[in-house]
Amino acid sequence: MYSHDVVIVGSGLAGLRAAMELAGHLDVAVVTKVYPSRSHSGAAQGGVAAALGNMDGDTPEAHLYDTVKGSDFLADQDAAEILTSDAIRTIYEMEHFGCPFSRTPENKIAQRAFGGHSYQRACYSADRTGHALLHTLFEQTYRQGGNIQIYSEWYMLRLIVEEGIARGIVAMDIQTGRIEVFRAKTVLFATGGYGRAYKITSNAFANTGDGISAAYRAGIPLMDMEFVQFHPTGLYQHGILLSEAARGEGGYLLNGNGERFMQKYAPSKMELGPRDIVSRSEQTEINEGRGAGPNKDYVYLDLRHLGREKIMERLPQVYHLAKDFIGVDAAEAPVPIQPTAHYSMGGIPADKDCQVLLDEKGNKVTGFYAAGECSCISVHGANRLGTNSLLDALVFGRRAGKSILAATEGASFAPVDEKKELAAARREIDSLLHNGATEDLHAIREELKETMTLKVGVYRNGEQMKEAHGTIKELQARFVNVRVDDRRKNFNTNLLEALELGHMLEYSELIVAGAEVRTESRGAHARDDYPTRDDENWLAHTLAFRKDDGGYELKYKPVTITRFKPVERTY
């Protein structure tokens, strides 16, 4: 059994930033299923939001309003206010840590326009901002040396919670297959999102939402799972992200007829509408036969008028992705794109200090915290604005670190039944290795992803979601006999993929469940059978509780509204 004051699961921006806050004060370990620099924070491209005002008269208040409006008024406004009022300090801090930012002619941090933001607010490093921030924090972990113990390529199998107290985790060393209990006074989950449940997705293969459903299995409800963001500019068929910065820098969206169709949907913001609205506009164009290509199933991102020089300076990654993956030279031809599953607004419910909630009444789990995309605090509500996710991970990563430090200093280890926990972890693994072995792992996963993209995607309706729910139930049943051929202990990625699929099947049902019941359209949850927002009945957060029989129960809790009354949302 390993023992650390604090165990952080996940090594992206939220996990590493929290670790920095704790290093030198407590014995802190970071457990990650990859290596820190592989974390998916690094894939964020366009920028990180803060009202520095380097380009214009931006203010944190404007940032707050844009965030709340962008959320379709589902964000908890007290939490969103923390996000936006701490943003400026956060960016200066990252700059002082060494983050390379692109610069203005006045030598300040450069800022660009982004969807749903009313000022030039996105601080950027060309179009690899997440990469720049992640590597800056990774550099800082070298500086901390032994103060942060990093367990790379360890897979978290279980969260240990008993009597409302988190006691540690069970994890497997991927390189050897060894399973260990990590005893901890405090556990922080910074495990990322669940976008891999979709076929067309910008998410890394690693983004299977394990942390979220591990928490659920440990008796913690999940919040607002039905809110999945679809990014408007995924590379056609690949789903790979082409940064919103492409539109921030002036890129157009064109339908198959060459028309800038955003004119119809967001006449004042045009291509810089928020992501939910732009993705729906694209999908409407495609659904109504105005898509491009032989199957009329995509639209175009057109950068040609920006000129090669500006593209190469500001959007080099976008350029290379289009070139390397589908052979399109973005300076000479428009790039085929489609909406792609991108961000999980839902997740593990947590309060403003990142402590995880146990129920709709506000009771908390002692010693358990969540930050970053796996958490639902909720600063993004029903739709996150671009560049607010990196900010969220940094602001609440640090904040989690601070609250954990206060709560853990002087605390003692709660007892852990090591044998019982190891046995439970082995039971799960054995159920995958020793069963009827009649069902193909990849086939189940593909069917799940296809179902989610087609039936719980940009547009939803009751009938399709009912079918999707039925399919997921059936896939869960088939999964009991999933075939895992690899019997080796070391680097058994076959077993890992089976474990991940188990998580995906579990929480995907909750995405559908929350979406089916919510008979309205709000933010990223858009129903063609209930096309309008219904504040009277649905200005509320969903909480999905796991029942002892494996089923779920949905409950709701009110949204915190401090400054802005919900109004109709137009752009």
Least distance (Å) from another protein to the CB of residue 441? 7
- Count how many Cα atoms sit within 13 Å of the Cα of residue 433 in the half-sphere of its side chain: 14
Of 493 and 537, which has the nearer Cβ to another protein?
493
> Which residue, 98 or 293, is less far from another protein as judged by CB?
98
* Shortest Cβ 509–another protein spacing (Å): 23
- Quick one: 420 or 442, whose CB is closer to another protein? 442
Q: How far is the CB of 40 from another protein (least distance, A)?
A: 7
CB of 53 to another protein, least distance (A): 11
Please name every residue paired with 48 in a beta bridge, in sequence order, or none if there are none: 123
Q: Give the count of beta carbons closer than 10 Å to the beta carbon of residue 256.
A: 18
In the complex, least distance from residue 449 CB atom to another protein, rounded to whole angstroms? 12
Q: How many helices (H) and strands (E) does the chain have?
A: 17, 20
β-pairing, 222-223 vs 540-546, is antiparallel
Shortest distance, CB of residue 529 to another protein, whole angstroms?
34
- Closest among 508, 520, 519 to 552, alpha carbons compared: 508
Cβ neighbours, 10 Å, residue 97? 15
Q: Which residues bind another protein (CB under 8 A)?
A: 34-35, 37-40, 42-43, 52, 91-92, 95-98, 100-105, 107-109, 125-126, 128, 131-132, 135-136, 139-140, 142-143, 175, 202, 204-206, 238, 240-241, 316-317, 320-321, 324-327, 441-442, 483-486, 488-494
**How many degrees, rounded to 5, is the angle at CA 44 between CA 124 and CA 259?**
85
Q: Tokens 């039905």 appear where?
A: 226
Burial 155-171 (b: 16+ CB within 10 A, else e): bbbbbbbeeeebbbbbb
Taking the least distance from each CB to another protein, the nearer of 481 and 537 is 481
Shortest Cβ 239–another protein spacing (Å): 9
Sign of CA dihedral 566, 393, 223, 39: positive
Name the residue nearer to another protein (CB basis): 139 or 553: 139
- For residue 167, give the amino acid letter: R
CA distance 141 to 372: 18
Nearer to another protein, 101 or 300 (CB): 101
Could you tell me how far CA 455 lies from the centroid of its own chain?
20
List CB contacts of 100: < 8 A, sequence separation 6 or more.
125, 132, 136
Minimum CB separation from another protein for residue 133, in Å? 11
Beta-carbon count within 10 A of 349 CB: 29
Structure tokens at 128: 């690899």
CB 137, CB 74: distance < 8 Å: no
Q: Please say which residue, 139 or 463, places its beta carbon nearer to another protein.
A: 139
Distances (CA, A) of 526 to 443, 459, 464, 533: 28, 5, 13, 9
Exposure class string for 537-566: b at 16+ Cβ within 10 A, else e: ebbbbbbbbbeeeeebebeebebeeeeeeb
CA dist 227 and 367 (Å) reads: 27
Element (H, E) at 2: strand 2-9
> Minimal distance in Å, beta carbon 548 to another protein?
33
CB 375 within 8 A of CB 189: yes
Between 1 and 437, whose beta carbon lies closer to another protein?
Answer: 437
Mark whether 384 is an active-site residue.
Answer: no
Q: Which of 158, 275, 398, 569 is catalytic?
A: 275
Catalytic residues: 275
